[in-house]
Amino acid sequence: MRIDLISEHASPLAALGGVDAGGQNVHVAELATGLARRGHEVVVHTRRDSADLPTSVRAAAGVTVEHVPAGPPRAVPKDELLPYMAEFGDHLSSRWALERPDVVHAHFWMSGVAARRGLDGLDVPVLQTFHALGRVKRRHQGAADPSPLQRERIESTIARGSDLVVATCSDEVAELEQMGVDRDRTAVVPCGIDLTKFVPAGPVAPRGDRPRILSIGRIVARKGVDTVIAALAEVAEAELVVAGGPDRSDWDTDPEIVRLCEAAERAGVRDRVRFLGQVGHDEAPALYRSADVVVSAPWYEPFGTVPLEAMACGVAPVVTAVGGHLDTVVDGRTGLLVPPKDSRALAERLRELVNRPEWRRELGRAGVDHVRRRYGWDRLVGRTESVYRRVLAHSGFSMTASTGGRP
């Protein structure tokens, strides 16, 4: 098949080049290279966000990345990209008039906008992966959410107009149903992790004698690090290592770091909390291995890679019972689930794990097995390919592209 992936703000080249990149960059890179290994020809369309970028790059065997001229050729925050999606879509339209893809798969809602415009009048099925939903973000972040105001409305239109929405967890399917998307128009394919890097054996980051609780991820309010800090006050002796956040040079002024330090002072645990700042992804496995317990306490989580990485390294995660965590962590078998924003409940579970090393190890072993069986990229790319075939075999798809909406 000729498969075109649209990833308007997240280039797979960032992930393939090993530089700092978010989940969507990694997802699109793994999907593209995995599909190419299965014999498909993959073209990824991403916005040209630097004047130095060539029009087209052969990124790997079977994978071409095309830089689409849409908006200024410089970095633009993703929440400001919507006005350029018409230009992006028009570019796709002229591109596809010459070479018609068999399947188009859009990543993030704005790529869906561009794909729809590009496919107008073409008989090609389009699939959508949102990575995050505006309605969930708005529910939790309220006025602090910087997304364009039209996001929720456009997302609903995109979701209902796609031949299939590929969700990353079952919780997202429930949200999509509330947006008017039939369950049989959705499929769940989770995100994967690199099972060659995230393994229990290997280098271990230095540590002392205190039980170590590790929090790793972006330092933003919704990740709930403040709840973890409050819980630490009730987990005697343990240290909390917090990885992620801005460059150390920006720390004095970063409002979230300042807020967390103040919270640690107030809780009387400042001497037991260590902020590491951003840790390279290659260093993450050693850091996981150095921990007794990994904690991830977001208010909401579209997928959540951290618990999977922890389990793959043989470390039990304690996570909030939200979003993707509900699918990936088997409560009491591979990790523990706690309610969000509940430092008491979190402290209780952390204490149990810290005080019961045998149980911890048992959960750790079960976690390794669980992740290896289900979350390797090869397996997940294979599932995505089956989803494409299912859509292609579905007789109704042709009307979608030609009418620009559901039949």
Nearer to ligand UDP, 119 or 193 (CB): 193
Nearer to ligand UDP, 104 or 322 (CB): 322
- Binding status of residue 155 toward ligand UDP by CB under 6 A: no
Report the C-alpha dihedral over residues 215, 217, 223, 227, rounded to 10 degrees: 20
- Binding status of residue 285 toward ligand UDP by CB under 6 A: no
Q: Rounded to the nearest whole angstrom, what is the least distance from the CB of residue 390 to ligand UDP in the complex? A: 27
Q: In whole angstroms, what is the distance from residue 195 CA to residue 216 CA?
A: 18
Q: Are 254 and 217 in contact (CB under 8 A)?
A: no
Q: In whole angstroms, what is the distance from residue 320 CA to residue 341 CA?
A: 8
- Binding status of residue 305 toward ligand UDP by CB under 6 A: yes
User: Tokens 């590790």 sit at which residue?
Assistant: 214
Contacts from 192-195 at CB under 8 Å and sequence distance 24+? 192/30, 192/375, 192/376, 192/377, 192/379, 192/380, 193/305, 193/308, 193/309, 193/312, 193/371, 193/375, 193/376, 193/377, 194/377, 195/312, 195/371, 195/372, 195/375, 195/376, 195/377
- Number of Cβ within 10 Å of residue 300's Cβ equals 21
Q: In whole angstroms, what is the distance from residue 370 CA to residue 328 CA?
A: 9
- Binding status of residue 216 toward ligand UDP by CB under 6 A: yes
Nearer to ligand UDP, 280 or 357 (CB): 280
Nearer to ligand UDP, 71 or 217 (CB): 217
Q: For residue 63, what are the β-bridge partners?
A: 42, 60
Size of the site for ligand UDP (CB under 6 A): 16
- Binding status of residue 198 toward ligand UDP by CB under 6 A: no
- Binding status of residue 125 toward ligand UDP by CB under 6 A: no
- Binding status of residue 313 toward ligand UDP by CB under 6 A: no
**For the window 252-281, what string marks contact with ligand UDP as x by the rule CB under 6 A?**
--------------------------xx-x
**For the window 56-75, what string marks contact with ligand UDP as x by the rule CB under 6 A?**
--------------------
Among positions 28, 187, 306, 387, the unique one binding ligand UDP when judged by CB under 6 A: 306
User: Tokens 């190419």 sit at which residue?
Assistant: 36
Q: Rounded to the nearest whole angstrom, what is the least distance from the CB of residue 308 to ligand UDP in the complex? A: 8
Q: Among residues 179, 192, 272, which one has the least CA distance to residue 232?
A: 272
- Binding status of residue 243 toward ligand UDP by CB under 6 A: yes
- Binding status of residue 309 toward ligand UDP by CB under 6 A: yes
Q: Among residues 151, 179, 13, which one has the least CA distance to residue 78?
A: 151
Nearer to ligand UDP, 69 or 246 (CB): 246
Q: Rounded to the nearest whole angstrom, what is the least distance from the CB of residue 307 to ligand UDP in the complex? A: 8
What are the residues whose beta carbons fall under 8 Å from the beta carbon of 80, sequence distance 6 or more? Answer: none
Among positions 138, 218, 372, 394, the unique one binding ligand UDP when judged by CB under 6 A: 218
Q: Are 283 and 337 in contact (CB under 8 A)?
A: no
Q: Are 328 and 310 in contact (CB under 8 A)?
A: no
Nearer to ligand UDP, 288 or 397 (CB): 288
Q: Rounded to the nearest whole angstrom, what is the least distance from the CB of residue 284 to ligand UDP in the complex? A: 4
**Longest CA–CA separation in the chain, Å:** 66
- Binding status of residue 304 toward ligand UDP by CB under 6 A: yes
Q: In whole angstroms, what is the distance from residue 222 CA to residue 350 CA?
A: 20
- Binding status of residue 6 toward ligand UDP by CB under 6 A: no
- Binding status of residue 23 toward ligand UDP by CB under 6 A: yes
Q: What are phi and psi of 177, to 5 degrees?
A: -60, -40
Stretch that binds ligand UDP, among 51-59, 159-167, 210-218, 329-337 (CB under 6 A): 210-218
Q: Rounded to the nearest whole angstrom, what is the least distance from the CB of residue 38 to ligand UDP in the complex? A: 24
In order, the DSSP letters of 210-271 are: S-EEEEES---GGG-HHHHHHHHTTSTT-EEEEE-SS-GGGTTT-HHHHHHHHHHHHTT-GG
Stretch that binds ligand UDP, among 77-85, 158-166, 213-221, 265-273 (CB under 6 A): 213-221
Among positions 62, 112, 118, 217, the unique one binding ligand UDP when judged by CB under 6 A: 217
**For the window 317-356, what string marks contact with ligand UDP as x by the rule CB under 6 A?**
----------------------------------------
- Which helix (H) or strand (E) element contains residue 43? strand 41-47
Residues in contact with ligand UDP by the rule CB under 6 A? 22-23, 216-218, 243-244, 278-279, 281, 284, 303-306, 309
